[in-house]
């Protein structure tokens, strides 16, 4: 139950940040497509363990090449992990996206994790973006591969 409360709080904070930022951008006439909010569907694999993974991701583009944001993910199946992280994004070329994200993993205990990953943004019309991605999470010397698809919107 405690993880679900954390999950709900983070989703509400990220959604509030996105709505506030969009209102500010409209009021000032700036900030065109500097925000990205998406849902994530995919899987996690660590040795013989595997499971369904879902979550949410927010990015604020500081400039064309760099961004910062927040992420929350829940891994099910052989896992029972909730991850909260602060991703740093690098966009070196067109839709290519690299991420480094430190954060916390909750699974009965609280552990530090570090994520590195890569994805590619495919524009599908009017601000909508599909981003297939793969990441590696390091927690206590274990490596977990996380793969899937972000479905999001830039505003």
Is residue 4 scored above 60 in pLDDT? no
Q: What is the mean pLDDT of the chain?
A: 87
CA distances from 51 to 31, 41, 137 (A): 37, 11, 14
Distance CA 51, CA 64 (A): 35
pTM over 0.85: no
Question: When comparing pLDDT for 106 and 8, which is higher?
Answer: 106
Q: What is the DSSP string of 70-124?
A: EEEEEE-TT--EEEEE--EEE--STTEEEEEEEEEEESSSEEEEEEEEEEE-EEE
120: its two tokens: 């590619």
Would you list the domain boundaries of the chain? 2-154
pLDDT in tens, 85-121: 999 999 999 999 999 999 999 998 999 999 999 999 9
Q: Domain 2-154: which topology? A: Porin (2.40.160)
Rounded CA separation 108/32 (Å)? 41
Tell me, what's the pLDDT at 40? 98
Nearest CA to 138 out of 108, 107, 110, 101 is that of 101
92: left (phi over 0), alpha (psi -120 to 50) or beta: alpha
């Amino acid at each position: 139950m405690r993880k679900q409360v954390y999950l709900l709080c983070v989703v509400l904070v990220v959604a509030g940040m996105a709505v506030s930022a969009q209102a500010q951008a409209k009021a000032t006439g700036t900030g065109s497509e500097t925000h990205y909010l998406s849902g994530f569907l995919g899987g996690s694999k660590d040795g013989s363990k595997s499971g369904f993974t879902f979550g949410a991701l927010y990015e604020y583009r500081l400039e064309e090449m760099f961004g910062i944001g927040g992420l929350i993910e829940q891994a099910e199946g052989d896992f029972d992990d909730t991850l909260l992280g602060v991703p740093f994004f690098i966009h070196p070329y067109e839709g290519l996206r690299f991420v480094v994200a430190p954060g916390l993993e909750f699974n009965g205990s609280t552990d530090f994790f570090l994520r590195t990953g890569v994805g590619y943004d495919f524009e599908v019309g009017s601000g909508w973006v599909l981003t297939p991605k793969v990441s590696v999470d390091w927690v206590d010397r274990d490596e977990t591969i996380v793969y899937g698809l972000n479905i999001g919107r830039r505003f």
